């Protein structure tokens, strides 16, 4: 199956036209997603309903023919499976019970007990590996430990990850116990996704940018390295994409240091700079600002072309720098795809 374009790029091949997919490609900007979500009831019910989760994963593939599908789920299913309470407040985002004491950390379930709770997700993966077009790559994912821990410690999303930074400073053993449990669970979870049929896995460290210096080494780089080493030992042929979002200059060398096959770049990074300093080590993914999916027009076309050109001398997967937002116009997504692929025509 190495003829799939995404797998070729991840293996280090420079392709004439970069393969393309989009973070949050199944989401609220699509009317068909909103309809299926309404049918499921709420967001978490959708995540745990294999038929409907597979359906929303397939919707952007049918509409746009992306080169990859990403499993529909959420990074916060891991805290849910570890026994924390999780719910989503419409218009606000996730809410969780918190873990900030030694007792609460000890009450988290063991990593190898998550599978029963997550069985519906593995079933979604199995359905998708049967139903996806043969040229489409199936990507599984999990949140990186730091990002997941920031939600577990704060009980919600935070602008600056303050509560997690505070726990790290004030009670490092508890902080590290949470990080360790999430790291172990993530290895089990991604391994099970691969066994169910995920062909690539991606580790989302959305808040990596708030870790500086030694903290970045200890809590972004080291857990990614540990997870990747464990997965490579069990599944040596499955490529892994790491996304240490807003890592800035710490993107340099991240793939080599962690063993990742590809590094995903957010849109704060200049593409020409990243081609020189990050793509030298292998495949990169990114990095169009998702705001172009709202505003469209010539700016979208110009910036898309500039990114394709900047990364054209090495392996590249075209993507946004972060997830597409609910206010995006589905026609702008088509314009982005046409612009990326225009080089292939004629």
Q: For residue 81, give the 3-state DSSP assignment.
A: helix
Query: Closest CB to ligand CP3 among 74 and 188?
Result: 74
Token duo for residue 10: 């991840």
Check the annotation: does 74 bind a ligand: yes
Q: How many CB atoms lie within 10 A of CB 81?
A: 22
Catalytic residue, chosen from 24, 181, 226, 245, is 24
Check the annotation: does 286 bind a ligand: no
Query: Closest CB to ligand CP3 among 196 and 310?
Result: 196
Q: CB pairs under 8 A, 24+ apart, for 246-250?
A: 246/208, 246/209, 246/210, 247/208, 247/209, 247/216, 247/220, 248/209, 250/208, 250/216, 250/220, 250/221
Name the residue among 309, 310, 307 with its Cα closest to residue 319.
307
Q: Write down the least CB distance from residue 206 to ligand CP3, Å.
A: 3
Q: Write down the least CB distance from residue 74 to ligand CP3, Å.
A: 5
Q: Write down the least CB distance from residue 27 to ligand CP3, Å.
A: 4
Concerning whether 251 is annotated as a catalytic residue, the answer is no
Q: Left if phi > 0, otherwise alpha if psi is -120 to 50, otherwise beta: which for 194?
A: alpha
Check the annotation: does 322 bind a ligand: yes
CB closest to ligand CP3, residue no: 206
Concerning whether 281 is annotated as a catalytic residue, the answer is no
Q: Write down the least CB distance from residue 42 to ligand CP3, Å.
A: 8
Q: How many CB atoms lie within 10 A of CB 166?
A: 14
Return residues touching ligand CP3 (CB under 6 A).
23-28, 37, 43, 70, 72-76, 93-94, 141, 143, 157, 204, 206, 323
Contact assessment for residue 7 and residue 199, using Cβ atoms and an 8 Å cutoff: yes
CA distance 311 to 288: 12
Concerning whether 24 is annotated as a catalytic residue, the answer is yes
Query: Closest CB to ligand CP3 among 108 and 149?
Result: 149
Catalytic residue, chosen from 29, 67, 74, 181, is 74
Query: Closest CB to ligand CP3 among 76 and 187?
Result: 76
Q: Which residues are annotated as a binding site?
A: 24-28, 74, 151, 206, 322
Catalytic residues: 24, 28, 37, 74, 151
């Amino acid at each position: 199956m190495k003829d799939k374009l995404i797998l070729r790029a991840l293996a280090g091949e420079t392709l004439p036209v970069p393969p393309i997919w989009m973070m949050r490609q199944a989401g609220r900007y699509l009317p068909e997603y909103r309809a299926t979500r309404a049918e499921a009831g709420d967001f978490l019910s959708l995540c745990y309903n294999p038929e409907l989760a597979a359906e929303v994963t397939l919707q952007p593939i049918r509409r746009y023919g992306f080169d990859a599908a990403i499993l529909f789920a959420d990074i916060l299913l891991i805290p849910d499976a570890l026994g924390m309470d999780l719910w989503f407040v419409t218009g606000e985002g996730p809410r969780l019970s918190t873990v900030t004491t030694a007792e609460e950390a000890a009450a988290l379930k063991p990593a190898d007990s998550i599978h029963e709770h997550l069985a519906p997700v593995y079933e979604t993966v199995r359905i998708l590996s049967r139903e996806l077009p043969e040229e489409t790559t199936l990507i599984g994912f999990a949140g990186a430990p730091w990002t997941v821990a920031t939600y577990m410690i704060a009980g919600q999303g935070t602008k600056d990850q303050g509560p997690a930074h505070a726990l790290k400073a004030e009670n490092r053993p508890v902080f590290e116990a949470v990080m360790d449990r999430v790291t172990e669970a993530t290895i089990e979870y991604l391994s099970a996704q691969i066994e169910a049929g995920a062909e690539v896995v991606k580790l989302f460290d959305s808040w990596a940018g708030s870790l500086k210096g030694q903290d970045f080494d200890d809590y972004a780089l080291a857990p990614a390295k540990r997870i990747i080493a464990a997965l490579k030992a069990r599944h040596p042929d499955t490529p892994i994409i790491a996304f240490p979002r807003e890592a800035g200059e710490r993107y340099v060398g991240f793939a080599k240091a962690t063993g990742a096959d590809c590094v995903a770049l957010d849109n704060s990074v200049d593409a020409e700079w990243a081609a020189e300093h990050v793509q030298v080590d292998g495949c990169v993914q990114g990095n169009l600002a998702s705001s172009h999916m709202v505003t469209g027009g010539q700016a979208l076309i110009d910036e898309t072309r500039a990114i394709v050109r900047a990364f054209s001398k090495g392996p590249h997967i075209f993507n946004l720098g972060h997830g597409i937002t609910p206010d995006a116009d589905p026609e702008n997504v088509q314009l982005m795809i046409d612009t990326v692929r225009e080089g292939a025509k004629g």
